[in-house]
Structure 1
Amino acid sequence: MLTNLNFRGPLIPEIAKNTANHVKKTLPPSLCGFAGEAEIKYYVKVTVERPQFYKENHRHVGLPPSNFVRPSRNLVRFKFFPIEPPRPPPTRGETYARRPAQFTAAMPPLPRKKSLFDTFRKENPSVPDGPPPRFQIDARLPHPAILTCNEAVPLSILVKKLSEPTEAPFLSMLHIELVGYTHMKAHDIEKTESTSWIVLTHSNLAIRIGDANDPLNSETRLDPKLWDGIPLPNSVAPTFQTCNISRYYELEVRVGLSYGSPGNIKPQLIVLPFRIPVEVFSGIAPPPALLEAVARSQGSSSLSSPLPNASSPFMSPPSSNSDKPITLGTPLQPTSPSYANRPQHTGEIMSTASHGQLDVEPPSYEDAMADEIGPVDGPRRNYSQLIEVEDDKATGVVGLGR
């Protein structure tokens, strides 16, 4: 299909791109905040079938409120917060960002103009002895770098002394911020929006780090109580990726250092920024039965190629000698009469009559998963998104439920 013609240069038609590319990952969470650009909403559609010939089916759609459709009072919108993917096993490794800190040598005071009273003074201008102190700062996270919604950041900050013992360093400023990038794509147009959440910010601190007599190459870990009790804001969405919108994060840490002695801290301040790519998980762990099913499907065989559309004229009819397609999960044993008559392979195309339709409809998600996999049992995370006050007054609903 021709979508565009360029008449300025040679006549080169642009062919429509293949839209069959699909990202098979967990459903994204409800997302808003990009007016007119991107939005992720979920609703429930209910259809009541009435077999009478002169009566139409009742359809009810629980749409989220918008500026164009005024919802009725019986519509209830909801937020979707997905379960997190399987976490890798814990390791002793760390993801870190490292930067050196070099203070400049203090200049001696300028000589004063001699006067009659200088003969009675015995004070001499103090000249700094030795080179200025040098340090190395590390910002570390457990590997892989994963943050959890509504939980504190598992951050570690270490200061290493790289020069001979002169004067002790002091922590003067600390800033922790989570920066999120939302990548949006529509055809050939791509755009990335950035959003930041300040976890904590402290200034005018005078926290001593170690001691001036500490040996060379000694490391001092900052007290994690400064940020341990501060969880991530409840508006942070988990990391996700879809065909046309994705979200990824970076953790930005700024550490401000100065040096001197207690009560006599030099006015010199060095601010070192650190940026670490991180993933944000929802904190809702998948049930163990689901993890076992995924492990069995991954260990049994690789994924099959995507099946063509049943109505496509290029699809060859299945033969009796052809191999059965490989499915994502292990077929479950039938436990009910309604499920026993259904096909065991969800991706199998069955030969039918001349109408080209399926003899038996495929099993639903509840039939295929509810027999072995129980409900998700875990903490309910507080997840909030921007809402419109006028729509809440119209529907009589205050806020969003989980």
Structure 2
Amino acid sequence: MFPQVAECYKSSTADAARNQLGSRQPHHLLRNLPPSSGNKYTPQEIRYTLEASVVQPGLIRRTHKATRDVSFHPVSTIRQPLHSLKISKNVNLSTIASELICPPLTYEVEVELQNGPFLLLGHPIALGVKIMHMNGEKNAISLQDFQTMLRETTEIRARGSIQAFTRSWVIQTMTNLRQPLVAANRPTVGSVLELDDRLWSRHCVPVHLAPTFETCNLIRRYKLEIRLGIEFGRNYTRILEFEFPAYVLLPSFTRFTRSCVGSLEPILDRWERHVPKKE
């Protein structure tokens, strides 16, 4: 019904230099058409309309016209295999008395998006949380607070200016969990503790969100924020926040194949370059 891509032009730095020399050769880009989203009361509304005209022949020519709004959702393709995204943070626990005897206890907390930045509407987040005991004596470790939230940003370019609209969508929030982390054996130095994924497997990405898209004048992007409240032993609770880029897709139109739409590759590469690995 509609073409899968829209034609648009952006001027690069090299183009600007050529324009100064009197040559105008704009850089041509192809972008996927954005999906239907929003409503008439929001500035970021995206609506598609199908118009048809039928000419009735005869002595008196008549033209019949009809208009109907249609819903449009582009097809997305993801390359295989999917590469996970990981962010690690170190937690140092110490008191003035303990520092005189031994170095502070150190833990490494790692959060992993197992499917990379890709999130499917109506599906749970493929998430993994691990804690590695780096040194010192063992402590009982438990999860006290857990929250996942999507931050949506829509950028609109018009008449030489840019407007940005941001909204937040809480997927799951839980407090006072007191859920111990599971260890394959006793939590000795170097052991890895894993959080049970049943905690979040029943909470899904909201189905009413619009998928991620980018055109020359309109961009919809997401960030996934994960907040963990972890208790390391008695009276040692730390709040850790992790932020990932997220690419939201429609599951019914998603094909996990070995090929990838060309416009997705630079976006994925740009994410991989900007995700921090460790603090």
TM-score (normalised: structure 1): 0.52
1:165 counterpart (132, 137, 144): 137
1:82 aligns with 2:67: no
* Aligned partner of residue 175 in structure 1, secondary structure: strand
1:38 aligns with 2:44: yes
* Letter aligned with residue 221 of structure 1: E
**Which deviates more from structure 2 when the two are superposed, residues 234-243 or residues 271-280?**
234-243
Q: Are residues 286 and 48 of structure 1, via their aligned partners in 2, closer, same or farther at CA, if it must alter by over 3 Å?
A: farther
Preserved CA contact (<8 Å) 1:133 1:167: no
Instruction: Give ranges in structure 2 of 5+ residues lacking alignment.
Output: 1-23, 263-279
Q: Are residues 32 and 285 of structure 1, via their aligned partners in 2, closer, same or farther at CA, if it must alter by over 3 Å?
A: closer
1:274 aligns with 2:246: no
Q: CA deviation at 1:210?
A: 4.6
1:227 aligns with 2:200: yes
Q: Are residues 253 and 160 of structure 1, via their aligned partners in 2, closer, same or farther at CA, if it must alter by over 3 Å?
A: same
* Aligned partner of residue 24 in structure 1, secondary structure: strand
Q: CA deviation at 1:143?
A: 5.3
Preserved CA contact (<8 Å) 2:141 2:181: yes
Preserved CA contact (<8 Å) 2:132 2:190: yes
Preserved CA contact (<8 Å) 2:129 2:195: yes
Counterpart Cα distance in 1 of 2:28 and 2:41: 25
Corresponding residue for 2:221?
248
Corresponding residue for 1:55?
61
Q: CA deviation at 1:156?
A: 0.7
Corresponding residue for 2:18?
none
Q: CA deviation at 1:152?
A: 0.8
Q: CA deviation at 1:134?
A: 2.4
**Which deviates more from structure 2 when the two are superposed, residues 180-189 or residues 137-146?**
137-146
Counterpart Cα distance in 2 of 1:21 and 1:35: 34
Instruction: Give ranges in structure 1 of 5+ residues lacking alignment.
Output: 1-17, 63-76, 109-127, 299-402
After superposition, what is the alpha-carbon deviation per residue over 1:125-182, rounded to whole angstroms, capped at 9, x for unaligned?
Answer: xxx9866532111111135421111111011111111221232221111111111211
Q: CA deviation at 1:33?
A: 5.5
Corresponding residue for 2:10?
none
Preserved CA contact (<8 Å) 2:149 2:224: yes
Corresponding residue for 2:9?
none
TM-score (normalised: structure 2): 0.73
Q: Are residues 149 and 57 of structure 1, via their aligned partners in 2, closer, same or farther at CA, if it must alter by over 3 Å?
A: same
Counterpart Cα distance in 1 of 2:93 and 2:38: 45
Counterpart Cα distance in 2 of 1:183 and 1:25: 15
1:100 aligns with 2:90: yes
**Richer in strand (by share):** 2
Preserved CA contact (<8 Å) 1:252 1:274: yes
After superposition, what is the alpha-carbon deviation per residue over 1:203-234, rounded to whole angstroms, capped at 9, x for unaligned?
Answer: 11111225695221211111000111211111
Q: Are residues 97 and 235 of structure 1, via their aligned partners in 2, closer, same or farther at CA, if it must alter by over 3 Å?
A: same
* Letter aligned with residue 250 of structure 2: S
Paired residues in the alignment total 236
Corresponding residue for 1:122?
none
Counterpart Cα distance in 1 of 2:50 and 2:186: 67
Q: CA deviation at 1:50?
A: 1.8
Q: Identity of paired residues, percent?
A: 23
* Aligned partner of residue 89 in structure 2, secondary structure: strand
* Letter aligned with residue 48 of structure 2: Y
Q: Are residues 55 and 33 of structure 1, via their aligned partners in 2, closer, same or farther at CA, if it must alter by over 3 Å?
A: closer
* Letter aligned with residue 187 of structure 1: R
Q: CA deviation at 1:45?
A: 1.1
Counterpart Cα distance in 2 of 1:43 and 1:21: 29
Counterpart Cα distance in 2 of 1:151 and 1:286: 12
Q: CA deviation at 1:60?
A: 1.3
Higher relative contact order (CA 8 A, sep 6+): 2
* Letter aligned with residue 90 of structure 2: P
* Letter aligned with residue 89 of structure 2: R
* Letter aligned with residue 150 of structure 2: L
Corresponding residue for 2:189?
216
Corresponding residue for 1:198?
170
* Aligned partner of residue 78 in structure 2, secondary structure: coil
After superposition, what is the alpha-carbon deviation per residue over 1:5-31, rounded to whole angstroms, capped at 9, x for unaligned?
Answer: xxxxxxxxxxxxx9x876523321112
